[in-house]
Structure 1
Amino acid sequence: MDTLARLKAGQLAGSTRLTLNCGLTEFPREIFDLADTLQILDLTGNRLSSLPEDLGRLEHLQILFCSFNDFTEVPACVGDCRQLSMVGFKANRISHLPAAALPPLLRWLILTDNCLEQLPEELGQCTRMQKMMLSGNRLTALPNLAAMEHLELLRLSANRLEQLPEWIYRLPRLAWLAYAGNPLREEFCTPHAPGKVPTIDWSDLQLHRQLGEGASGVIQQGLWRSRGLEVAVKLYKGSMTSDGSPLNEMAACIAAGEHANLIKVEGQVGGHPQGSHGLVMDLIDPSYLNLASAPSFTSCTRDVYADDLRLSAPVLKRMAAGMASVAAQLHGHGINHGDLYAHNILWHENGDCLFGDFGAACFYPRDGSLAAQAVERIEVRAYGLLLGEWLERCDQPLEPLWALQRDCVQAQVLARPVFAEVVQRLAAAL
């Protein structure tokens, strides 16, 4: 018996989580039978265009997913769910977000890949907000969100913004910022030091097993025939992700250049029969593992590490130095990675690490402007948070590194060090 049938038969009493993905065109009223316990409701992948006006009866609901449906606006009744903190309406046809739809405890909002041209001014009153994903809309301006002192992750890629408001550069906790694919001035759209890689014809590649799949593309092991070299081939899906456009990701990967702590790009794919874009990269030794998992519903903006992970002082220092060095190179090229997280790091138990996933990357000017000063220091905060997570998992105190960590995460954005200074301080401490 499927989930909907079990729901209608009263067999799901006491459930805290419900997922219905079965072509729904109307909200099943039987969901209200779970009102005393339901915390997570996932209605992704149906054909819904409305929700019942009495949705607030789900008084314990904390997470609501309605992505990949047919909504043209976020229903106002969503705001009546007083405990709701996470709302996802990705990939609908939403052109209106009414102020009434904003629940009071909202901290995670996903409106990626819709048709929004403006946002309500009341959004700035959602001062608990930590994570907001607005990529792939039609926004030409943003309301004043300067009061969002808890906002840590902001995705604005692929909109119609001609400038970024200055309050972005002063948000005290912002650490992960993406805005590629907007009609900003040229310095925000092109790399400071463009990289060059050869074009590798599709006929020269032989694909083998799939190695992984992410939001932006599929990675397969392959053979570069003319070189006799085993490689990894990433083919981009060409669709919008929560971070932005896969084509922006590819451009940033190429512009990043070579570094011992970056996964090397051998070339870009040419001549694909369906016109797909792709990159050919070094094949990583399987002894390298993901350092952490992406944030969970509970952690929101923080990665999830294995409970038993401990880092020795030598390993921690090696990783800290490697990541600071690669970040310094990226920002020297005017590249903001936008997703400086442990879940984007492959590591070896000896402390070697490789950084990847440029899905949120964007370019910025290196001209002494406020943007030039602040964008790097926003990412320095992300580095500081990462360093703190590692120090918490080390049995040695390492006070000089803790002092650096505190400087990197301080609330005054422009008082933080730049990555070149981080590299120097690490060298002195190590």
Structure 2
Amino acid sequence: MAARIVVPALLATTVAGAAVATVLLLRRNGKCVKKASLTVRGLLELEKACEDADARETVAVVELQGIALYAGVPPVVTTLRTLVRLDLGSTGIAQLPASISNLTNLQVLLAPRNKLTALPDALAGLAGSLVQLDVGSNALEAVPDSLFSLSRLRTLNLMGNQLTRLPERFGDLRGLRLLGLKSNKLTQLPASFSRLTDLVELFITDNQLTDLPEGMSACTSLVKLQASFNAFRALPACLLHLPRLELLRVAVCDIKSLPPQLLQDAAALPRLAWFSVAGNPVCPGPPAPAPGLPVVAPEELELGQKLGDGASGDVYRAVWRGQLVAVKYFRADVSPDGRTEDEVALAVSLQHPHLTQVLARVEKPHGLVLRLEAGSPLAAKPTSQHLLRCKWGDDVRFPPRRALGLAAAVADALRYCHAAGICHGDVYAHNVLMDENGTVTLCDFGASFSYDRAAQPFWEAMEVRAYGLMLKDVADRAAAPAAGAAGGSGSSGKLAGAKEAVVEAEKGVVAALQGLAQRCAELPPARRPLFGAVCAELQQLQASLAN
């Protein structure tokens, strides 16, 4: 019988799934034979693979997602000792078999959207291999001790269960980088969370938490924290000095006050760039909307193709009163970033040429009629592989003048927002539209919130960092033509000299944009230029090119 050596390589992980590549080395007669791994999709392929001895010993991935497994997990699955990834999502299973411990090479186990009420002790048998476990959207009421044997676990999804408490041993999972606890019934987190020092992403939205453990100040790797729809009465103190925290959502809690001296504390939230506290008592009411905004019924709109979607709703092309418009329909009264009514109130109160313009409100279902923008997003939304960083197309380039115009337009829109006491909260390249003529629009107010600018100057300094990160990506993709390309062979010396001067001026613009981006993104909050100063600096650059 051949001895099997499995050498797997996990390429990427997310809460929903993972990409897996494997190399299988089979030792026969003293020699190593490399064989390609086999991916099996569906019960028929599984049956065929198991009938062939050679195929059976190379099965690395079994995908049964969406197939009704009325009799439970097929017993043959747990005999596939080369298995690296097993997807049992949406199969209706009520339990994982004890024999799952046989899969000692399993790295990824996905079993979301099922009927699991408990996890087997046999999970401990996967301690030497399991990297990702997804049991979200089940009916789990407790976390078993066997889970804490999984010392290699990096991604754990327990979202959408019935958990009311977590054992103190939870801190034993020290290798966790991503933890999903959204939509449970937790009233507190164990003090042992202080040991999760490798944790990068934490999702605790929609629980009943009133505070976080003081020891979480030791979670110094934390970059992203989604914590909206809880019962916090104040911003948890343990978060204030996390050195890497960049995104924090605490919308629709019961927060009545925010720390007043954040800007004076040089160590407070030094890298925070995206924040939402909308729907809390601490937020003042939004500015009053312009009078006379029409309210329309859905039947007055002729919907066309879907243009995009976000956390709070979907956007469609439409015709209203004979003109092409965009219509955003909200999916519910709340979204992961806040309440629909807050987003609507802020959106209709703002009127600026580089912001989404609201033309009317839709009564029910709730929606907004918006000016149709011809542009497209600068970049794609961030993914788990691009943590909090937009994914840019490989061929995206900006002429220096266009990059400068883009930078100035977004900065002026944000200057206007903060002057009105509104923080956008989600300044990303994927929320900036630009058309072929260079017209720029900043959109999506789903995470926006009102604040007292005099009492809370920190939030503008925070948003300057988000702007700086976006500006860096734009400036890095702006390139002036090479100096040698300034003039052709027939150019006169005077004309060539003028073109050389233009090239040098554009190079100077790119360098200036890169320098501004660095100051906005990397300086401590109190030392960052605010949007008024940013706009003034960009205007000077534009004037220098015009001369």
**Structure 1: stretches of 5+ with no match in the other structure:** none
Does residue 49 of the first structure (1) align with residue 148 of the second (2)? Answer: no
Question: For 2:467, what is the secondary structure of its paired residue?
Answer: helix
Hey, what's the Cα distance between the residues in 1 that align with 2:203 and 2:211? 15
Q: Give the superposition deviation at 1:231.
A: 2.4
Question: For 1:27, what is the secondary structure of its paired residue?
Answer: coil
Hey, what's the Cα distance between the residues in 2 that align with 1:402 and 1:323? 16
Q: Give the superposition deviation at 1:203.
A: 3.5
2:372 corresponding residue in structure 1: 283
Corresponding residue to 1:351 among 438, 444, 460:
438
Q: Letter of the 2:284 partner, please give it.
A: C
Corresponding residue to 1:301 among 371, 388, 394:
388
Hey, what's the Cα distance between the residues in 2 that align with 1:244 and 1:256? 18
Q: Letter of the 1:127 partner, please give it.
A: T
1:72 corresponding residue in structure 2: 164
Summarize the alignment of residues 184-223 of structure 1 with structure 2, pairs less than 5 Å apart: 184=282, 188-192=283-287, 194-196=289-291, 197-223=293-319
Contact 1:344 1:356 in 2 (8 A): yes
Rg bigger for which structure?
A: 2
Q: Give the superposition deviation at 1:131.
A: 1.2
Question: For 1:219, what is the secondary structure of its paired residue?
Answer: strand
Hey, what's the Cα distance between the residues in 2 that align with 1:84 and 1:99? 16
Contact 1:146 1:167 in 2 (8 A): no
Corresponding residue to 1:116 among 209, 214, 225:
209
Hey, what's the Cα distance between the residues in 1 that align with 2:116 and 2:109? 14
2:404 corresponding residue in structure 1: 317
Q: Give the superposition deviation at 1:237.
A: 2.1
1:427 corresponding residue in structure 2: 539
Percent identity of paired positions between Structure 1 and Structure 2: 34
Q: Give the superposition deviation at 1:117.
A: 1.7
1:9 corresponding residue in structure 2: 77
Shift of the 262–383 alpha-carbon distance from structure 1 to 2, 3 Å rule, reads same
Residue deviations 1:113-137 (CA, integer Å, cap 9, x gap) = 1111222111222122111111111
Q: Letter of the 1:305 partner, please give it.
A: W
Question: For 2:199, what is the secondary structure of its paired residue?
Answer: coil
Q: Give the superposition deviation at 1:239.
A: 4.7
Hey, what's the Cα distance between the residues in 1 that align with 2:343 and 2:129? 41
Q: Give the superposition deviation at 1:289.
A: 2.4
Hey, what's the Cα distance between the residues in 1 that align with 2:525 and 2:193? 32
Normalised TM-score (structure 1): 0.89
Question: For 2:445, what is the secondary structure of its paired residue?
Answer: coil
Question: For 2:335, what is the secondary structure of its paired residue?
Answer: coil
Corresponding residue to 1:255 among 344, 349, 361:
349
Q: Give the superposition deviation at 1:332.
A: 1.7
1:236 corresponding residue in structure 2: 330
1:172 corresponding residue in structure 2: 270
Contact 1:193 1:255 in 2 (8 A): yes
Hey, what's the Cα distance between the residues in 1 that align with 2:535 and 2:403? 14
Shift of the 262–143 alpha-carbon distance from structure 1 to 2, 3 Å rule, reads same
Question: For 1:422, what is the secondary structure of its paired residue?
Answer: helix
Contact 2:252 2:338 in 1 (8 A): yes
Contact 1:52 1:77 in 2 (8 A): no
Q: Give the superposition deviation at 1:219.
A: 2.3
Q: Letter of the 1:246 partner, please give it.
A: T
Question: For 1:117, what is the secondary structure of its paired residue?
Answer: coil
**Count of aligned residue pairs for this structure pair:** 415
Contact 2:290 2:348 in 1 (8 A): yes
Q: Letter of the 1:13 partner, please give it.
A: L
Summarize the alignment of residues 39-188 of structure 1 with structure 2, pairs less than 5 Å apart: 39-101=131-193, 103-141=196-234, 142-166=236-260, 168-169=262-263, 170-184=268-282, 188=283
Residue deviations 1:83-138 (CA, integer Å, cap 9, x gap) = 21111111222212112245221121111111112221112221221111111111
Question: For 1:13, what is the secondary structure of its paired residue?
Answer: coil
Q: Give the superposition deviation at 1:406.
A: 2.4
388-397 or 174-183, which deviates more: 388-397
Residue deviations 1:161-189 (CA, integer Å, cap 9, x gap) = 110124654321111111111111xxx32
Q: Give the superposition deviation at 1:284.
A: 3.2
1:389 corresponding residue in structure 2: 473
Does residue 339 of the first structure (1) align with residue 434 of the second (2)? Answer: no
Q: Give the superposition deviation at 1:328.
A: 1.2
Contact 1:79 1:104 in 2 (8 A): no
Summarize the alignment of residues 404-423 of structure 1 with structure 2, pairs less than 5 Å apart: 404-423=516-535
Hey, what's the Cα distance between the residues in 1 that align with 2:522 and 2:417? 22
Hey, what's the Cα distance between the residues in 1 that align with 2:75 and 2:339? 38
Contact 1:74 1:101 in 2 (8 A): no
Shift of the 41–343 alpha-carbon distance from structure 1 to 2, 3 Å rule, reads farther
Shift of the 151–5 alpha-carbon distance from structure 1 to 2, 3 Å rule, reads same
Contact 2:417 2:423 in 1 (8 A): yes
Contact 1:401 1:429 in 2 (8 A): no
Hey, what's the Cα distance between the residues in 2 that align with 1:53 and 1:265? 53
**Structure 2: stretches of 5+ with no match in the other structure:** 1-42, 44-63, 66-71, 86-106, 481-506, 543-547
Contact 1:77 1:101 in 2 (8 A): no
2:109 corresponding residue in structure 1: 18
15-24 or 382-391, which deviates more: 15-24
RMSD across aligned positions (CA): 2.4
Question: For 2:338, what is the secondary structure of its paired residue?
Answer: coil
Higher RCO, 1 or 2 (CA under 8 Å, sep at least 6)?
1
Hey, what's the Cα distance between the residues in 2 that align with 1:34 and 1:390? 45
Shift of the 310–71 alpha-carbon distance from structure 1 to 2, 3 Å rule, reads same
Question: For 1:54, what is the secondary structure of its paired residue?
Answer: helix
